[in-house]
Structure 1
Amino acid sequence: MRTASQYQMEPVGVGSRPAQENTVLPFLGRQATVRKAGMVFSQDISEQSWERIGSGLRELTNSSAWWLADWLIFGEAAYSCRRYREAIDRTGLDYQTLRNYAWVARRFEYRRRRADLSFAHHAEVARLSPPEQDYWLRKAQQHKWSRNELRRAVRASLAEQLETPDAATARSGERRAGQMAEQAGGDARREKVATLTIELSTGQLDKYAKVAAAHGLPLEKWVTQILDSADRRVS
């Protein structure tokens, strides 16, 4: 097995034609050469050049998904079903993977695809309506979300939208109960500061205390009941 250092130390151009091959991948420059089974790097490649190649390969990988999808869509439209399937078989490409690519591509006509977001970003929102797709992709651009960050944001939004009516009603009831409890607490606090003073003679106090005791109530509660009863009769 060859190590990374062995790959880096192999001289460019051995058994290859760098200038000709790198016209296909211009971001390689003369720092690396691509072959069918790998990539060979110059021994004096700088870190900056190495990073630039990585960015280029990322873009190439992203674009290739769109390319394969559009290639499949064109073949489906241009050729008979049998010839089309035979052509797919001859390429050796995985048919189901291509179908998945094509499904996403059909959900985004060319003008709506965002080059600064990956194919995977588009796949995350492909099931949504076009306005929703545009909204979430725009958010992903603005916030520089990764594919996973976009997925979490979309799923959280969908979960909120799909909340059952019963759950929504329960949450609304909880809020109303909390508001009523808070209001009742406020009323109770206001009642505590309201004071009613009644002047009674000693004889009246003893008489009313005995009546209240006969009803099994303290004098204060018995008086309150009498006042409430009088209020209901007046009302």
Structure 2
Amino acid sequence: MTFPQNLPERAWEQIGTNLRELANSSAWWLGDWLKYGEATYGWRRYKEAIERTGLDYQTLRNYAWVARRFEHDRRRDGLSFAHHAEVTRLSPPEQDYWLRKAEQQKWSRNELRKAVRASLAAQSDATETLPDNDDEQVAVDRPAESAADGKDRQKSTTLTVELSAGRLEYHAKAAAAHGLSLDQWLTHLLETVDGRSVERRTA
């Protein structure tokens, strides 16, 4: 790229902005192109994709991975492709929360990464310190159980909770504010309610 000697500074700045937007868009374009190729022609198309683009396999896989995680209506024009890549491993409500916060705070990709990592670290610490609703705590107001009862109680159960979009966003924000994933936050709420019920019965 060559430039005229008398190029105004404002014009030079605008060219940089345009190049940035072009580079950001090209990552999404490549991701969507690969996503379409995977769905239509299968994984064998990666060989052709490498030849056509000159990019390595892992880079192309990363582009496709991010594109699959964010449909067009969830992509934020004010943030880069790299911002979206930072939160791909989170749940969709958590992704939306952090991207919205990054947009509002005008965070760079590195600032978003730092905030997310700090939250995950706090989440890990909080998970370790959450009170355990173990057998010794609840055995006080329960009758003795047979071995069969104990085995049944140890089986895990899947609980499905239906929430409106508004309530889902509300709980996702609350979970993120406490450094927890949405699943851990809802589990903690249920355990808290269960603990209070036990206290009321034994009072």
Normalised by the length of structure 2, the TM-score is 0.60
Aligned counterpart, 1:162: 124
Runs of 4+ aligned structure 1 residues displaced above 3 Å come to 164-169
CA distance in 2, matches of 1:95, 1:89: 6
Residue 86 of structure 1 deviates from its aligned partner by: 4.0
* Unpaired runs of at least 5, structure 2: 132-203
CA distance in 1, matches of 2:116, 2:3: 41
Aligned counterpart, 1:130: 92
Q: Which amino acid aligns with 1:49?
A: A
Residue 89 of structure 1 deviates from its aligned partner by: 3.9
CA shift digits 1:34-73 (9 cap, x unpaired): xxxxx01012100000000001111111111101111111
Residue 90 of structure 1 deviates from its aligned partner by: 2.7
Residue 85 of structure 1 deviates from its aligned partner by: 3.5
Aligned counterpart, 2:20: 58
* Unpaired runs of at least 5, structure 1: 1-38, 170-235
The partner residue of 2:68 within 106, 109, 123 is 106
Aligned counterpart, 1:188: none
The secondary structure found in structure 1 opposite 2:90 is coil
Alignment of 1:8-27 (within 5 A): none
The secondary structure found in structure 2 opposite 1:162 is helix
CA distance in 2, matches of 1:104, 1:166: 31
- What is the total number of aligned residue pairs between the two structures? 130
The partner residue of 1:87 within 44, 48, 66 is 48
CA shift digits 1:93-114 (9 cap, x unpaired): 3221010111111111110000
CA distance in 2, matches of 1:124, 1:141: 14
CA distance in 2, matches of 1:68, 1:98: 8
Shift in CA distance, 95/143, structure 1 to aligned 2, threshold 3 Å:
same
CA distance in 2, matches of 1:81, 1:125: 25
Aligned counterpart, 2:58: 96
User: Alignment identity in percent?
Assistant: 68
Normalised by the length of structure 1, the TM-score is 0.52
Aligned counterpart, 1:47: 9
Q: How big is the alpha-carbon RMSD for the aligned residues of Structure 1 and Structure 2?
A: 1.7
The secondary structure found in structure 1 opposite 2:2 is strand
Shift in CA distance, 80/105, structure 1 to aligned 2, threshold 3 Å:
closer
CA shift digits 1:191-219 (9 cap, x unpaired): xxxxxxxxxxxxxxxxxxxxxxxxxxxxx
